[in-house]
């Protein structure tokens, strides 16, 4: 036990002396180490001095802003470098346009007013209209309400194909998708003894397939009937993009809910929710900005049709093919996009009857890339990266990799149509926007020809 008295006299001086001595030894050791040049003895017995350590290498940022002073390509320079690539017969019937992103000036074009089959570059129009008409955090609701008969519940949706029946902890196809398991858990918490499930598909009107679609596309994994209650875009294998799609997506969702509740899927039928029926469970989709990224990145047709209907409802129109296409064109027109020459039968681009001039695609992408426009600016981040992500992951990944990492674009592919619409940084550091469209050639021919043309833009220093 300490007495609390401070030591004095020789005992304190001894401690101070020991401390001073220890410090002196430590300083001497450090100085000695610092003054000694490290050496080792080689095989001949000769002392060899080690080279001093090199200066540390500091990481430099790999992604830096483009210079605002980068020179703008001249129209004549662009014409000179693009003309040889345009001689490729694999381009078929071709139209295209190239513009300076910063100024919006069109630097080069070929038949840019000619309507062409756009394939999935149609989604550029759908995304732009959605961003203009809806808040970025807009969500879509799926809910379960009490049915008319005792023990009956009704599954009803506003149109969220990102809903998944995959259990918690296992991903569905879409990141952030709502879950059937969450609906089931909420129902159980209400104490409702469920004896039957009805699925209400009345939120959408009109046909479930568009003009210009082919029935075989369902089994091929490109599309499902467009219904307001759908799991994983109708995919039979939820995590496989082009797995065969369901012909009855709404009923499939109801059966998944039955299984989640431990019930026989045979209790599921079509039905209607009563006006003012009490809600038993509710889930919501991811925000619009996240769904648009998925829609453009993976060219998701079912999701694009759902987003088109969201635009229609925001404009007071019917949630149908006619309502969605009319609303998309109306919103674009109100926001200064010249849609003359555009014909839309759907909002995904799967219809072979769609027509869009390259001028329209180019105008939208250039507006997104322009320095003063903020509404469409996020679209630039939604586009696939050449040789890296989404539908461009396998393109520019081998062979000519000139544009890999430097180009981002929405792709479009049908049996006789290919298209690219996006932007690229040229050799001078200038950002160029472009829309390139090829018709009357199969994709295995047309796509490589378009890729080569876009690579020419990347390699250009056409001042």
Cα angle 165, 220, 397 (rounded to 5 degrees) comes to: 95
Task: Output DSSP code: residue 376.
Answer: S
Q: What is the DSSP letter of 343?
A: B
Tokens standing for residue 379: 């679209």
> Which among 342, 339, 362, 462 has a CA at the least distance from the CA of 419?
362
- Report CA Rg, the chain: 32
Q: In terms of C-beta density within 10 A (0-12 exposed, 13-18 middle, 19 or more buried), how is residue 415 classed?
A: exposed
Concerning whether 123 is annotated as a catalytic residue, the answer is yes
User: Of 109, 120, 351, 438, which residue is the catalytic one?
Assistant: 120
Per DSSP bridges, beta strands 417-425 and 407-414 are antiparallel
The dihedral sign for the CA sequence 396, 400, 404, 410? negative
Residue 276 CA to residue 288 CA, distance in Å, equals 27
Identify which of 306, 131, 133 has the alpha carbon closest to the alpha carbon of residue 231: 306
Specify which residues 153 forms β-bridges with. 146, 197
Give the Cα-Cα-Cα angle 327, 328, 329 (nearest 5 degrees). 90
Question: Considering 209, 246, 293, 299, which one is annotated as catalytic?
Answer: 299
Token pair, residue 101, equals 């992103």
User: Helices (H), strands (E): how many in the chain?
Assistant: 12, 16
Which residue among 123, 209, 285, 418 is the active-site one?
Answer: 123
- Long-range Cβ pairs for the range 244-249 (8 Å, 24+): 244/218, 244/219, 244/220, 245/218, 245/219, 245/221, 245/302, 246/218, 247/218, 249/161, 249/224, 249/225
3-state class (DSSP) for residue 25: helix
Question: For 233, which DSSP code?
Answer: G
Give the Cα separation of 408 and 359 in Å (integer).
18
The question of whether 299 is a catalytic residue gets the answer yes
| Contact indicator for 189, 233 with CB cutoff of 8 Å | no
Catalytic residue ranges: 120, 123, 299
């Amino acid at each position: 036990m300490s007495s609390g008295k401070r030591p004095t006299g020789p005992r304190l001086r001894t401690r101070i002396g020991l401390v001073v001595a220890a410090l002196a030894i430590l300083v001497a050791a450090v100085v000695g180490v610092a003054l000694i040049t490290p050496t080792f003895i080689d095989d001949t017995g000769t002392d060899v001095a080690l080279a001093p350590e090199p200066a540390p290498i500091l990481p430099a940022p790999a992604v830096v802003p483009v210079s605002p002073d980068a020179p703008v390509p001249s129209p004549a320079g662009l014409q000179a470098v693009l003309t040889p690539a345009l001689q490729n017969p694999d381009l078929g019937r071709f139209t295209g346009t190239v513009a300076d992103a910063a100024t919006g000036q069109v630097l080069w074009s070929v038949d840019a007013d000619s309507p062409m089959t756009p394939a999935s570059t149609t989604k550029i129009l759908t995304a732009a209209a959605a961003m203009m008409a809806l808040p970025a955090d807009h969500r879509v609701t799926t809910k379960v309400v009490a049915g008319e008969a005792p023990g009956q519940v009704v599954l009803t949706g506003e149109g969220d194909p990102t809903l998944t029946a995959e259990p918690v902890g296992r991903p569905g196809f879409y990141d952030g998708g709502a879950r059937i398991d969450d609906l089931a858990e909420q129902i159980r918490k209400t104490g409702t003894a469920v004896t039957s499930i009805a699925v209400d598909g009345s939120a959408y009107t009109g046909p479930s397939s568009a003009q210009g679609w082919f029935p075989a596309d369902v089994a091929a994994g490109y599309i499902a009937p467009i219904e307001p209650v759908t799991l994983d875009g109708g995919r039979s294998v939820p995590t496989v993009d082009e797995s065969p799609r369901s012909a009855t997506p709404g009923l499939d969702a109801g059966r998944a809910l039955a299984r989640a509740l431990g019930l026989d899927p045979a209790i599921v039928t079509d039905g209607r929710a009563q006006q003012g029926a009490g809600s038993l469970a509710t889930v919501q989709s991811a925000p619009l900005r996240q769904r648009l990224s998925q829609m453009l990145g993976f060219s998701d047709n079912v999701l694009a049709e759902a987003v088109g209907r969201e635009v229609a409802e925001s404009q007071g129109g019917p949630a149908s093919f006619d309502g969605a296409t009319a609303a998309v064109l109306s919103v674009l027109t109100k926001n200064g996009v010249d849609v003359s020459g555009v014909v839309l039968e759907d909002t995904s681009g799967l219809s072979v009857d769609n027509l869009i001039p390259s001028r329209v695609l180019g105008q939208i992408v250039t507006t997104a890339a322009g320095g003063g426009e903020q509404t469409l600016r996020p679209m630039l981040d939604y586009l696939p990266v050449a040789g890296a992500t989404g539908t461009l992951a396998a393109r520019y990944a081998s062979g000519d990799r000139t544009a890999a990492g430097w180009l981002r674009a929405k792709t479009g592919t049908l049996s006789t149509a290919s298209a690219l619409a996006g932007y690229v940084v040229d050799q001078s550091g200038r950002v160029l926007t472009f829309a390139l469209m090829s018709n009357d050639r199969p994709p295995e021919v047309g796509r490589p020809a378009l890729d080569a043309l876009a690579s020419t833009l990347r390699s250009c220093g056409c001042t």
